[in-house]
Structure 1
Amino acid sequence: MRRKFSLLPILVIAILFFSLNAYFISGLAVIFHNSWLKPALWIIISALALLFIYAITTIQRKGVTKLFQVVAHAFLIVFVAEIIFTVFLFLGDIYRVLWSLPTRFEAGGYHILGRSSEWIDFAFIMFCLTLILFAYGITRGKYAYRVIRHTLFFDDLPEQFEGFTLTQISDVHAGSFTNPKAVQKGIDMINAQKSDLFVFTGDLVNNTAEEIVPYIGHFSQIKAPYGQFSVLGNHDYGDYVKWPGEAEKTKNLNQLKAYHQQLGFRLLLDEHVELHKNGEKIILTGIENWGIGFGERGDLNKALQGTAQKDFKILLSHDPSHWDAEVKNYPSKIQLSLAGHTHGMQFGIEAFGIKWSPVKYRYKHWAGIKSENGRYLNVNRGFGFLGFSGRIGIWPEITVIQLKKKV
């Protein structure tokens, strides 16, 4: 049965879009007293919206093109900056109405509300700051790598592994990179940590295996005395691109696995390895992607087959929802789990004691260390970026974890 097309949602969106921009332009008209300002802004905003709609219609035929990326980012930046401006403008209008503040409003025919010039000036400053922040996030922030260090204490850490260090990165998304020199800077920072072990927790590419090819020479430079290990993430399976057939999709996945080997990464597919030091060992386990809403492929029972309850275990599992669903209460204790996936949504604030990102409404644990039931989880904020070609407040992360024995 053919689905009936409804104009109502489109009409509602159009009304909301018009209302937002009318209110936004009415505020700017107070600051800039030019007769050409309103028609010029309407032309620019309408043209950008139409270009955005056109770019969306091309995705199914052409995929994510350069046109779509440019138009989508321009639309996103302007739209968010408009919202910031209108929020502060609206607060000023409410404040004026409720407390009858002195107002000044003589611009362009909008005479419904008077405005306090101080509120409008502040709203415009926030508008400009938003534009600057997004510009920084797109041009510099997405490659502004940070090294984040954690020291974790365990009752049952084998004595020979006292002070053992590992470096973790996640979510490379090589298909999004456009600056090889900036990526090399991140690789150099990884090697500078001189950790005992290196691990990568999934999403090497966005969609296809070939995306990593231009960067094999970069990531193959990563070396650690106890090896380099990796797992797959949800994007690595090619689920988000249309394939001619299942055979082509399988071939792509097999090629990606081969590229892990070329990088010098030992890909762990529902299996474990033993890391030995002076007669003692720890278990490093890796599973295929297991994430609520993103495919529950991994088999933890299979991965841990042959290990003992008393073994010290580190688990690589791409999606942090796996930890809540299975790992933190798993009968055989897994002392440390390492995940990624969330990217911290590449937008948020982590400063002045505040830790917030919109992704918190989707994931209970979305960045950093979490401890529960005598077990630790670390969620890496990601090395690369996806969708939004930038990062604001949530910077690309290189995690260094030192293991210590609790005394």
Structure 2
Amino acid sequence: MNDKRSYKASSSSRSTKNNSARKGNNKSSRFKKPYKKGFGSASASKAPRSGSFKRYGKKIDPQMYVYTAKPSEKQAVLDTNARYSEYNFSTRLLENIEKKGFKFPTWIQSRVIPNVMVDNDILGIASTGSGKTAAFLLPLIDKATKNRDNRVLIVAPTRELASQIKNELNAFTLRLGLSSVLVIGKASMHLQASLLKKDPEFVICTPGRLLDLSNQKAIDLSQFNNIVLDEVDQMLDMGFAPDVKDIISRLPKSRQSLFFSATLSKAARALAESLLNEPVQIEIEKQEPGRNVHQNIVKYTDPQNKEDVLVDMLKSADFRKVLIFTKTKIGADILARRLQDHGVKVGVLHGDKTQQKRSRVLELYRENKIKNLIATDVASRGIDVKDITHVINYDEPATYTDYIHRIGRTGRIGNVGYAITFVK
């Protein structure tokens, strides 16, 4: 992976140790002269909390679940000095952007879009909520409308995230005459193979199902001249590294590659080096985890007491949109039935549900037709719902890292959220 240039936006961190590590990594990085943009700063009232425990190992100290939110000024997510009209998008694409309610590009969009349009490879370090999906979709859509030979492959770690990307793509491509296929598990492989025969401009997929169809000769990966790997850190966490490397090996050497990850571990960097050619690095450092989230614990005496307290919470008007975490799929189903017995309407999201049911419950949740969703850790990955007010850990997480992932579903983009963890 050869150097090109680097853009970077930085924010404060609760952990001095983590800050030092970042600075050290920046010094050793081959990407020089980062563009820096401050999000403001604030100090924390508690000691730094960093690291995680081994899965199912040492029990997490309940005090780690207690924190008073210290939100800084709203993050400078939007780049008000930029306009979508300056990118020479087609009139219809600009109309679709306006229909989505987008007025200004986000900071990452204003850096990624022009670089994609001049065929640069991208190494993007940004988390959910930064606007990165539109950052890669919009220029790739524009390129596809102007050159019908363009073929775009977008790889995501989970079915939910792939489905969300497909929905975004559908909204942006209204009346543009572009076709797309969603290639994910728990859906008909025969139907997907049939749709792929129509040679769509966009294929959005998860790694396993894509390789299954490639091995069956239902899709020729050498025909794709644009590749996007999204949420790479999640792919690696879920054990998809061999699959992703296999996919990369089947792509043409002459291609544009876009690589997005919330963090850049050694494994992620190694994968980037195998994929990218002279990339532009564009980085928005993650805001200190949980800083915008009021975190507290609720002590319970027995399972019935625990259930009663949860029911009281969910019936309160303050709990407007709630994501509830359980340890197991069976536990999620049991809790859902118990809550429904109490007259509480809930949806359930876990790996044993069909893709149709998973997509439907997420749609209902986004549209506020159900305000409570029960999920397991794995099933919740990739969920991008902006207005979650509360995260409730009905079952404690296995690791502190899992805890941070859970509470990161609320308190986004400068808003304040709430996280409650039940402890005995």
Normalised by the length of structure 2, the TM-score is 0.27
Which has the higher Rg, Structure 1 or Structure 2?
1
Relative to total residues, which structure has the larger helix share, 1 or 2? 1
